[in-house]
Structure 1
């Protein structure tokens, strides 16, 4: 990974080959670098997006990819695997290639598509329809902390959706 972008508004115009987009309310595994290095080798050359965290979907629906160095995913040191994405929701942590960003922008510039659904639902539809080549890290390496009131989703007592995910050893204790 070459780029790190915090926030989303201008992230899709980056010139680096890969950008990592993180929302401002996330926690991540302390050893995320080691875990990513282990699963990154499984990625095909033509990937568009990798979800480092996800919600509201069974991202183990498709079998995990083999790791060329370590073989079957169940033999990985950290038990972190890379799966072809099924229908991930939430955009709190993902990596996006320049090609993937261009593809995503192509569809998001179409007003009826872009304004008829939330961003995560739009991305999920593009994945399900085969327009984006996506993968999900399982279990999530980055989770939403949900410690403050949500300005987007007022369900769950104002703390956003009821989806909660946990880390093995989060930097911030999630």
Structure 2
């Protein structure tokens, strides 16, 4: 008997058709997945991937630049710097949380890490950073950006971090593939412990100078605004000539110094507390972070030129870590003549202009215009 007639008579023609359609859909889906996995595709997956990355990178425009929290460290008595950081952050639509600096003399000898033989001011600096790491762990932050209180950044900081996020999501230096959680919720990935963004000098691993990701960034400082130490580092990693002032670099962290600005993951905070507290402390916090990187006990990346720079006014106000020369001026220049390097457009300089006004001049101009219109 003709099967079609059987189905027709029994009323099963429609269910069979639906079953055939469902079966075809399953086969097509499996085949499509295999096709995409094979690498023989160009259009649709790349569009989806680009859209996803762009959407995730847009979190760089929020008040924490896409991190779980932005922390900054400041000695309790440096209310001048706290005023400056509060003002600077508010003008850049960034929300920051204060981590109080620590007076090294207040640290009990029993609380000093093994092997640590440091001046009180340097020990206090370490303790403040360790407190920031603890804050990350205590609050279960997935990531945090940690800043010191004497910094400057570019007025286009959100755009800069947006571009960095796209690079981190397409990171060719990773040792492991990103997880589904990273793809969905981690704008800078989570395959690192420390991301150095405000170093004062840098060096790459001598045997791994080929490990570098170079990308376009319209907010990179020009050659004349970039310190020689970073120009040399860029040249050693392949950025020379006309590319200087156009390209930024992402490379495995190996020898950064200074802690003006860096990000950490939660496991990074745990590893730092393990290696720079529980197991001892070998030197100033930035030096020991670099040594721990060189030992291979933590993993990190460095962005060059850096995204955060020291703001300098000259004189005793520029440092809380060293005993100042009593003959040195408190501030040779002051904020009116302060400066920072390695930035294309200083946010500190920009905010002075953005908040400037000439109230009585405005009244005078309004009065002149009123007379002219009568």
Q: CA deviation at 1:3?
A: 1.0
The corresponding residue for 2:251 is 83
TM-score where L is the length of structure 1: 0.79
Summarize deviations over 1:53-102 as a string: whole Å, max 9, x none: 11232359735644xxxxxx244444233121120010110000001000
Task: Summarize the Cα distance change of 1:64–1:139 in structure 2 as closer, same or farther, 3 Å threshold.
Answer: farther
Aligned length: 162
Q: CA deviation at 1:33?
A: 1.7
Which structure's relative contact order is higher, taking Cα pairs within 8 Å and 6+ residues apart?
A: 1
Are 2:185 and 1:40 aligned? no
The corresponding residue for 2:273 is 105
Summarize deviations over 1:109-166 as a string: whole Å, max 9, x none: 236x31x30000110001111111111111111011132242313589699xxxx743
Contact 1:65 1:81 in 2 (8 A): yes
Matches within 5 A, 1:27-66: 27-43=152-168, 44=174, 45-58=190-203, 62-63=209-210, 65-66=212-213
The corresponding residue for 1:117 is 283
Task: Summarize the Cα distance change of 1:40–1:46 in structure 2 as closer, same or farther, 3 Å threshold.
Answer: same
Q: Give, in whole Å, the separation in 2 of the partners of 1:25 and 1:85.
A: 23
Q: Give, in whole Å, the separation in 2 of the partners of 1:153 and 1:135.
A: 29
The structure that has the greater radius of gyration is 2
SS of 1:20's equivalent? strand
Q: CA deviation at 1:37?
A: 1.8
The corresponding residue for 1:11 is 132
Task: Summarize the Cα distance change of 1:77–1:97 in structure 2 as closer, same or farther, 3 Å threshold.
Answer: same
Task: Summarize the Cα distance change of 1:108–1:59 in structure 2 as closer, same or farther, 3 Å threshold.
Answer: same
Q: CA RMSD in A?
A: 2.8
Q: CA deviation at 1:167?
A: 1.2
Are 2:342 and 1:166 aligned? yes
The corresponding residue for 1:21 is 146
Contact 2:160 2:217 in 1 (8 A): no
Contact 1:89 1:124 in 2 (8 A): yes
Q: Give, in whole Å, the separation in 2 of the partners of 1:155 and 1:60.
A: 35
TM-score where L is the length of structure 2: 0.39
Structure with bigger strand share is 1
Residue ranges of structure 1 left out of the alignment (5+ in a row):
67-72
Task: Summarize the Cα distance change of 1:110–1:92 in structure 2 as closer, same or farther, 3 Å threshold.
Answer: same
Residue ranges of structure 2 left out of the alignment (5+ in a row):
1-66, 74-98, 100-127, 169-173, 175-189, 220-246, 331-339, 351-374
Task: Summarize the Cα distance change of 1:154–1:64 in structure 2 as closer, same or farther, 3 Å threshold.
Answer: farther
- 55-64 vs 22-31, which deviates more? 55-64
